[in-house]
């Protein structure tokens, strides 16, 4: 497999090929996922929850993200590396430029930020300076205190329309990828059809251009709780590399997510 870029993901969308992505936080898992043929790896600020044992992503720092991005990058040959900008690291445009540079210099090829059209100017400024951006809408975990919990978003008509408008604005500002988290499957489909850039869903239905899972969920390591939108691929295979290969093939064939993993 050749080195994957944002252009490769765009081509996959255009050709109707499904994109498989997963989180990783260290070199060993990153290498294994890269060798299994995953298209992109996200160093998610979910590391606050799955590695650090926090009850949200808010305590994660830019230093944490840079450290884990450096670790992951050392395991990668072909996969696209995306790093999350943590809570309040992009509250102003100046902070975003400084902190995105830290993650790019740590080895990311793209940074991810949570939020709607308020990010337009920041995204344009980053893209103009050579930093590709993945946007993130729906259940954006850094806003958990605004949402009052980890709840499905976009069920009401006005909220769904707002999300479609935000998605178009983010694409217009220069975002090259969009993560959609925990929204009704019909909204995932509507946003995907409205955009030229690829959408990557997590609890956003079957019709997004790709899927992402937190690696701990995909391997059934989550302490106590398996989210509705996830599946334990390790249970079906008993081997981590084969589990990720199964995940990739189930996404590619449209078998994952199944009806039991989607929100209405």
Q: Any idea which residues carry the catalytic annotation?
A: 181
If binding is defined by CB under 6 A, does position 171 make contact with ligand KIV?
no
Q: Which two tokens stand for residue 1?
A: 């497999």
Select the residue interacting with ligand KIV from 6, 20, 23, 122 (CB under 6 A): 23
- Choose between 40 and 126: whose C-beta lies nearer to ligand KIV: 40
Q: Which two tokens stand for residue 58?
A: 């808010």
- Choose between 212 and 251: whose C-beta lies nearer to ligand KIV: 212
Select the residue interacting with ligand KIV from 41, 102, 191, 202 (CB under 6 A): 202
Quick one: DSSP state of residue 263? B
Q: How near is the Cβ of 24 to ligand KIV at its closest, in Å? A: 10
Count of C-beta atoms within a 10 Å radius of residue 193: 10
Q: Which two tokens stand for residue 67?
A: 């450290």
Cα separation, 197 vs 69, whole angstroms: 24
- Choose between 122 and 238: whose C-beta lies nearer to ligand KIV: 122
Cα separation, 23 vs 98, whole angstroms: 24
Cα separation, 234 vs 218, whole angstroms: 7
- Choose between 145 and 157: whose C-beta lies nearer to ligand KIV: 145
If binding is defined by CB under 6 A, does position 214 make contact with ligand KIV?
yes
Write the CB contacts of 27 (distance below 8 Å, at least 6 apart in sequence): 71, 72, 74, 75
If binding is defined by CB under 6 A, does position 212 make contact with ligand KIV?
yes
Q: How near is the Cβ of 190 to ligand KIV at its closest, in Å? A: 20
Cα separation, 263 vs 185, whole angstroms: 6
The residue nearest ligand KIV at its CB is 44
Q: How near is the Cβ of 157 to ligand KIV at its closest, in Å? A: 25
For residue 136, give the 3-state DSSP assignment.
strand
Please give the residues from 30 up to 69 whose contact with ligand KIV meets the rule CB under 6 A. 42, 44-46
Please give the residues from 172 up to 201 whose contact with ligand KIV meets the rule CB under 6 A. 179, 181
Nearest residue to 131 via CA among 98, 156, 109: 109
Q: How near is the Cβ of 51 to ligand KIV at its closest, in Å? A: 11
Residues that bind ligand KIV (CB under 6 A): 23, 42, 44-46, 84, 179, 181, 202, 212, 214
């Amino acid at each position: 497999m050749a080195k994957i870029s944002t252009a490769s993901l765009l081509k996959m969308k255009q050709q109707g090929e499904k994109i498989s992505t997963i989180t990783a936080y260290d070199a060993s898992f990153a290498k294994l996922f890269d060798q299994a043929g995953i298209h992109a790896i996200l160093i998610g600020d979910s590391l606050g929850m799955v590695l650090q044992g926090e009850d949200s992503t808010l305590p994660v720092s830019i230093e944490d993200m840079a450290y884990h991005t450096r670790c992951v990058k050392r395991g990668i040959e072909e996969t696209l590396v995306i790093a999350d900008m943590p809570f309040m690291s992009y509250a102003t445009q100046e902070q975003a430029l400084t902190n995105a540079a830290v993650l790019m210099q740590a080895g990311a090829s793209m940074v991810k930020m949570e939020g709607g059209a308020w990010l337009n100017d920041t995204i344009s400024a980053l893209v103009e300076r050579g930093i590709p951006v993945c946007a993130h809408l729906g259940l954006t975990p850094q806003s958990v205190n605004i949402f009052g919990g980890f709840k499905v978003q976009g069920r009401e008509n006005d909220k769904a329309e707002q999300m479609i408008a935000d998605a178009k604005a983010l694409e217009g500002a220069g975002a090259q990828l969009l993560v959609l988290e925990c929204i009704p499957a019909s909204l995932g489909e509507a946003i995907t059809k409205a955009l030229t850039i690829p959408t990557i869903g997590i609890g956003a239905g079957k019709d997004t251009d790709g899927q992402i899972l937190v690696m701990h969920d995909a391997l059934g390591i989550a302490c106590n709780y398996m989210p509705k939108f996830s599946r334990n691929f390790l249970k079906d295979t008993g081997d981590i590399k084969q589990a990720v290969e199964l995940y990739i093939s189930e996404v590619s064939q449209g078998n994952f997510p199944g009806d039991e993993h989607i929100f209405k």
